[in-house]
A and B are shown apart, each in its own frame.
Chain A
Amino acid sequence: MRSRSPWSLLPVGLVGFVAAVGITFFADGPGGAVAASSQTTTPTTIAVDTSPSNIASGRTLFIENCSSCHGTNAEGSARAPSLLGLGAATIDFWVSTGRMPLAYPTAQAAEKPPLFDAKQTQAIVAYVTHLHPGGPGIPYVDVAAGDVSEGQILFSLNCAGCHTITGAGDALASGYYAPSLYPATATQIAEAMRTGPGNMPRFSPTQLTPAQLTDIVAYVHKYIQHPVDIGGLGLGAVGPVAEGFVALAIGVGLLMALAYWIGDRAVGPDAAPPKGDEGHGVTGAAGHAGH
């Protein structure tokens, strides 16, 4: 699930960066630096290795695994949309989260362990973007640079409405759902925001600047995925429903069991024998021990 951490992508991104082969889609972002302009500024996207050999291996993988629905040249079919011009971020998100290739058609593609490793994913991305350049590139996120306080405000405003404020995810209408944010890598979170997979709205650089994107990713990565549960068990982070079940089943239930334990007078041989009974044996003494 976590085969693609942002750090594993970093060398690839830097190599591509030096080669000045980048997808400079976000160059006009208000708060973002222009990619490929200088090595000292923060890049906004991670470039893809577009060497012919990589594209060739990507083509092989694509034809083997994707072309039956998306067509040999990613032009789409009656079953699946065209992938031309969707950009590196889209392809990388769907493949690296395991949503593609689809296991079976449902309202929403389910996340599962990815079929391809990082190198193979890169190759597929290179092949599809080679067919028709354009679209958002894989966003580069420096999680350490993010401001988690800004990120919390932006998350609360833009993300909590579907993914819930704890990021646990929740059901939407008609079989759609906002998935849990816990398994996503920093890059995948950024890709989802930039490309708007499925039902999710797309947040362009004019809506969320690269700096704001970084803030949100930092908050999700540091606090949603690793919540500060100083109060004890997190109970699934779904709020009062789980708490209510715990209060009733464990709180009231345990107290009822304790009431049953101490509430009844012992009957049978262990009970105190009636007055005048000569059989004050061991059991009789036990019956009086509490007095």
Chain B
Amino acid sequence: MLTQTLERQTTWLDDRLTLGKGSKKLLNKIFPDHWSFMLGEIALYSFIILVLTGVFLTLYFIPSTAQVVYHGPYKPLDGQRVSEAYASTIDLSFSVRFGLVMRQMHHWAADVFIGAIAVHMCRIFFTGAFRRPRELNWAVGVTLLMLAIVNGFLGYSLPDDLVSGTGLRIAFSILLSVPVVGTYLAFFVFGGNFPGTSIIPRFFILHVLIIPAVIAGLIAAHLGMMVHQKHTQFRGKGATEKNVVGSVAWPTYAFKTLGYFFLTAAVLAGLAGLAQINPIWQYGPFIPYHVSYAVQPDWYMGWLDGALRIFPSWETVAFGHMIPTIFYPAVLFPGITFTVFYAWPFIEDHFTHESRQEHHLLDRPRDRPLRTAIGSGVLAFYFLLFSASATDVLANFFGISLNIVLWSFRILVPTVPIIVGFVAHRICKELQTWEDVGERKRPTIILRSADGSYVGTTADYRPGDEPRELEPEPVPEAVGAHANGASTPELVGAGAGLAAPSQASAVPSGVLQAPRAPRNFDGGGGFLSNLRPRRQRD
């Protein structure tokens, strides 16, 4: 009954907007059945949560540094002169119904959003999913990571509390450190000297409108390219470079991913309700001559803060311009980081020449020991830098001298990644020699012979225990199937031609496959070669 109503509605829409053709492609899209393909969805759904909670927060947040006297339920701030931004965030947390849980959900979602991007990026990297034809989508992804970090920092700075104000002061100094143009740059961004009155309104509009809009657009491009190029897939039964094997978007994957959205929302709401994040009332308002020790940025900026902390104080003079110490760890280092990220597909191709053909089948990390070794080393490098952003907290927690912690990181950061890379390389090489690694374990029968020696033999699967991998079938014509006249007899009368097949076997399920259509123009020269003759006719 529900199905029939749904079908009547969609048919009505299809008759008017001819949605059938496009939606059929989407509904029949094949999603490979592997959990690691859902990591990007954590980021996508966190972003949706971020937008929803962020809209709520904008209703109460006042992006202004105008000074007001706070009066409210939190007594230690009562009667203090604070900025409107700070006062409104405190009111949001104490006096607005659902305000604090929304704020905390927004903040946790931001932390999880960027964490999910990082984990998703690791999956793409270690399986070689960035290779031709997906180099551009990799670049879009790297841009998304960068924008997410920047927007996280902007949002973190908005409440104008003591801790985030310290972060802003550091950001101002980083801008100042750029040789030649640093002063102009810093004054341009902050609208004058630090702290000024412009930075909160400027960061606000960047944080709530401009960067989210760009992120949303790039997410659309990211997903659009993914649909257009189709998913990559791991090697498995029936999976080739020419097809995609997995579950179909409608109904199988749609329900799976909808469930996953709810799970993401549940985890974020759970964190928001149970774990306190950024209690700005405990930090007090930002006053430039007040400072708190143990100030760190949010985790995704931690690698930069760690680099700032452990970098030796080298000040160099080049061409009559002084290059301050912080230029290297805070400007040059992230610049190099993202340049290498963008360039990685091309750097790797320079050595492997794999871009001669397309790659839709993923690598197992162990099959590419060098890439896995480099990736592991780089991960260790950034994780150590992140840890180095907590030198003081670690020294205090373990009761050791801060100087020892600092020097430990100065030694660990360059050396540990090399060791990690080497060990990862050895593990990959070792795994390659194990023939049955990754396969389903089979029972081993150990027999003791009369002379006391033991012999182990691999037994057959126990009856009913055999691994069954389904043979992928082509996607049936689920949408618009009534056009083929495939409706079931009992629905002919009731549905009068509108009903799609409701028979269980006709609804796409099980392991399905879709072919990858060749997309290149014949003869080479790209799409511009096809335009040339037309111009000649003109």
Chain A residues with CB under 8 Å of chain B are 107, 148-149, 151-153, 156-157, 160-166, 168-175, 177-178, 219, 223, 227-235, 237-241, 243-248, 250-252, 254-256, 258-265, 267-269, 271-275, 288, 290-291
Contacts and interface: CB of A to CB of B under 8 A. Distances in A.
Interface residues of B, number: 95
Closest 10 CB pairs of A and B: A244-B299, A263-B35, A231-B276, A247-B111, A171-B395, A165-B292, A265-B33, A252-B115, A259-B38, A251-B112
Contacts of B35: 256, 259-264
Nearest to B289: A157
Given A231-B279, A248-B111, A271-B468, 12 more contacts: A149-B79, A156-B284, A170-B294, A171-B391, A171-B393, A174-B403, A177-B396, A227-B279, A233-B274, A234-B279, A243-B277, A256-B42
B100 interface: yes
Contact of B471 (A164, A268, A274): A274
B275 A173 contact: no
B168 interface: no
Interface in B455-489: 464-471, 473
B315 to A, nearest CB: 21
Contacts of B302: 240-241, 244
Nearest to B264: A255
A282 to B, nearest CB: 11
Nearest to A271: B468
Contacts of A265: 33, 247, 511
A108 to B, nearest CB: 10
Nearest to B387: A241
Contacts of A175: 400-403
A152 B86 CA distance: 15
Interface string B253-281: 00110011001100110010111111101
B183 interface: no
Contact of B76 (A219, A254, A258, A263): A219
Contacts of B287: 156-157
Contacts of A254: 267
A263 B467 contact: no
Contact of B470 (A156, A172, A231, A272): A272
Interface of B: 33-39, 41-42, 74-80, 93-94, 100, 104, 107-108, 111-112, 115-116, 119, 162-163, 247, 251-252, 255-256, 259-260, 263-264, 267-268, 271, 273-279, 281-284, 287, 289-300, 302, 386, 389-393, 395-396, 399-403, 405, 440, 464-471, 473, 504, 507, 509-511
A231 B112 contact: no
A176 B240 CA distance: 63
A233 B39 CA distance: 27
A161 B292 contact: yes
A268 B465 contact: yes
18 contacts: A153-B284, A161-B292, A171-B401, A174-B401, A219-B76, A228-B279, A241-B389, A243-B111, A244-B298, A250-B275, A251-B268, A251-B271, A255-B42, A262-B35, A264-B33, A269-B468, A275-B473, A291-B504
A258 B270 CA distance: 14
